[in-house]
Amino acid sequence: MPTVTGLYDDYDDARTAVNALEDAGIPSGDISIVRRGTEANESNAGEGAAAGAGIGAVAGGTGGLLAGLGLLAIPGVGPVVAAGWLVATAAGAAAGAIAGGAAGGIIGSMTSAGVDEDTAHVYAEGVRRGSTLVSARVGDDKVDVARAIIDENAPVDVDSRRAFYREEGWERFDEGNPDLTEEELARERDRVRNYRQL
């Protein structure tokens, strides 16, 4: 099944893309959304998730995939608020990597779904630094529709973002990197905003 993916600096854009994908007839089970998050920083997203015992529901009465957001940890990314197939795959791959040394985590999940490895590293680093990843597995008949939806909701230009990260010496996503603090995430958002305005 082809995979169509976009990275968003604005959570509202990502949320709009998810809703539009569902409205286009793509089942919620074939869509994923992943973003950095904890109960403490959910108000920054403009939409909160109640994290209780690790499973939450989005405030504001939204249905579909967004109603199933939960809180978990992805190695190298930290705590994420997420839902969908990519999350289940990443969590299972990470557990397998710990238990059996298999390639795991978010990179393995994306590449096994057909995302180019170099691009998967940019996506994973983007999530680590506070962006939101939306990914949809679609039939061949829905690829163009899904790509149009992803593209019309202001996704990050992956090549520009890769160049931005590499300006500071970044090469690849590293699961061993420490989680960013809220202060570091805020600085990163400002840096990205200023970079995009150049």
Mind listing the pLDDT tens digit for each residue in 49-62?
Answer: 333 222 233 323 34
Query: In the 8-state DSSP scheme, what is residue 38?
Result: -
Q: Is pLDDT larger for residue 33 or for residue 175?
A: 33
Contact 72, 82 (CB under 8 A): yes
Mean pLDDT (whole number) for 157-174: 94
- Amino acid 177: pLDDT: 86
Contact 45, 37 (CB under 8 A): yes
- Amino acid 4: pLDDT: 96
Residue 102 has pLDDT above 90, yes or no: no
pTM, full prediction: 0.79
SS (HEC) of 148-176: HHHHHCCCCCHHHHHHHHHCCCCCCCCCC
Cα distances (angstroms) measured from residue 142 to each of 31, 80, 139:
13, 28, 5
CA angle 42, 136, 139 (to 5 degrees): 165
pLDDT, tens only, 64-80: 777 667 777 777 777 78
- Amino acid 96: pLDDT: 42
Residue 109 has pLDDT above 90, yes or no: no
Q: Is pLDDT larger for residue 64 or for residue 159?
A: 159
Residue 133 has pLDDT above 70, yes or no: yes
